[in-house]
Amino acid sequence: MNADMNAGEKPGMAIMISGTGSNMDAIISATRRGLLAARTVLVVSDRPDAPGLKKARTKGIKTLAVPYEKGVPREKAESAIIGAIKAERAEWVVLAGFMKLLTPNFIQAFRNRIVNIHPALLPSFPGAHAIRDALAARADITGVTVHMVDELMDHGTIIAQEEVAILPGDTEESLAARIHATEHKLYPRTLQQLFHEDF
Ligand code: GRF
């Protein structure tokens, strides 16, 4: 638990997305069903058209879209995001399908307080196409990893992993559906442990 937090207080999270936001949705639902003692203080996206942003707004959650301009260093967009997260006094930054690589400057701003979910058993199949890569490698098993975020891509202390079997005849879609179903349970449960239990 964060040393500055009073016992019983719900930590604030900023959730960062780029797309559908199904993990964001699962996390927000878990907070509302009492399974995750936390508050979503902000949802941030690099894509103004991310469907997840609209979903967050309909749930009454504050949102922010910060497009990354081509040819402009990532730090520029990040400084707007860092400012907004700090203004909302979020204790945790929860990446849920945020597709931009974070710079060391961002990691430094929230050191040991950034969490990510990845659709494979890291260190296997890092990168943006983990589900497709696991199928292409003819693996029998893949899964989901929740990890702390450091300066390297899909890297940092692993907090939780859950296996998902690859079945004969699986397509990217069928495997992705089972991986996402696993993610939607594992991510809220792991955040609850991370925020409220000692690791
Ligand atoms: C998830 O598979 C997650 O593991 C990866 O990006 C995907 C995001 O999906 N990092 P969604 O936007 O939460 O539906």
Query: For residues 191 and 197, what is the distance between their CA atoms, to the nearest angstrom?
Result: 10
Give 133: exposed, middle or buried? Use CB within 10 Å, 0-12, 13-18, 19+: middle
Q: In the predicted model, is pLDDT for residue 6 greater than 90? A: no
Among 16, 23, 185, residue to substitute to test ligand 1 (most atoms within 8 Å of Cβ): 23
Nearest Cα residue to atom 8 of ligand 1: 97
Report residue 199's pLDDT band, with 50, 70 and 90 as the boundaries: low
- Which tokens sit at 28? 């927000």
Residue 73: count of CB within 10 angstroms of its CB: 12
Q: pLDDT (tens digit, 9 = 90+) per residue, 26-78?
A: 999 999 999 999 999 999 999 999 999 999 999 999 999 999 999 999 999 99
Q: pLDDT (tens digit, 9 = 90+) per residue, 67-76?
A: 999 999 999 9
The per-residue b/e assignment along 155-181, b for 16 or more CB within 10 angstroms, e otherwise, is bbeebbbbebebeeebeeeebbebbbe
Q: pLDDT (tens digit, 9 = 90+) per residue, 139-172?
A: 999 999 999 999 999 999 999 999 999 999 999 9
What is the dotted CATH code of the domain comprising 12-196?
A: 3.40.50.170
Query: Is 196 a residue of the active site?
Result: no
Total-model pTM = 0.95
Query: For residues 26 and 87, what is the distance between their CA atoms, to the nearest angstrom?
Result: 25
Domain spans of the chain, in order of start: 12-196
Q: Which residue has the tokens 């040991």?
A: 112
User: What does the chain come to in residues?
Assistant: 199
Distance 96 CA to ligand 1 centre (A): 6
Catalytic one of 118, 155, 184, 196: 118
